[in-house]
Amino acid sequence: DAGVIQSPRHEVTEMGQEVTLRCKPISGHDYLFWYRQTMMRGLELLIYFNNNVPIDDSGMPEDRFSAKMPNASFSTLKIQPSEPRDSAVYFCASSLQGGYGYTFGSGTRLTVV
């Protein structure tokens, strides 16, 4: 099993540009989570899906953030337009059960200059 796969590993972009982060969950997992890691807030839940349906997006900071899960094997997190304060490590995780058994990807380190 390849685990949760995120791409790219690193992204450097200019303020105002669109950024798209990608995630491939573990096959058979029906929950997918997007987290953001910052020093101040730790691991902060942005949004999660169950069976490809967004369940809770209350952690999405602003309308500039959007996430989709068009099928069970792919999800994207998009930031448009990006701002320097969006700089963080973004993690995707998947699980068979919602409250535990998470497998995290290696993360995408986003730097907005």
Partner 1 sequence: DQQVKQNSPSLSVQEGRISILNCDYTNSMFDYFLWYKKYPAEGPTFLISISSIKDKNEDGRFTVFLNKSAKHLSLHIVPSQPGDSAVYFCAASSGHFTGTASKLTFGTGTRLQVTL
Which residues, 6+ apart, have CB-to-CB distance to 70 below 8 Å?
52
Kindly state the smallest distance separating residue 4's Cβ from partner 1, in Å: 7
The three-state secondary structure class of 64 is: coil
Burial class (CB in 10 A: 0-12, 13-18, 19+), 72: middle
Kindly state the smallest distance separating residue 93's Cβ from partner 1, in Å: 7
By CB under 8 A, which span of 15-23, 36-44, 61-69, 75-83 interacts with partner 1?
36-44
The yes or no reply on residue 90 touching partner 1 (CB under 8 A) is no
Phi-psi region of 40 (alpha: psi -120 to 50; beta: other; left: phi over 0): alpha
The yes or no reply on residue 80 touching partner 1 (CB under 8 A) is no
Q: Which of 1, 40, 53, 70 binds partner 1 (CB under 8 A)?
A: 40
- Number of residues located near partner 1, criterion CB under 8 A: 28
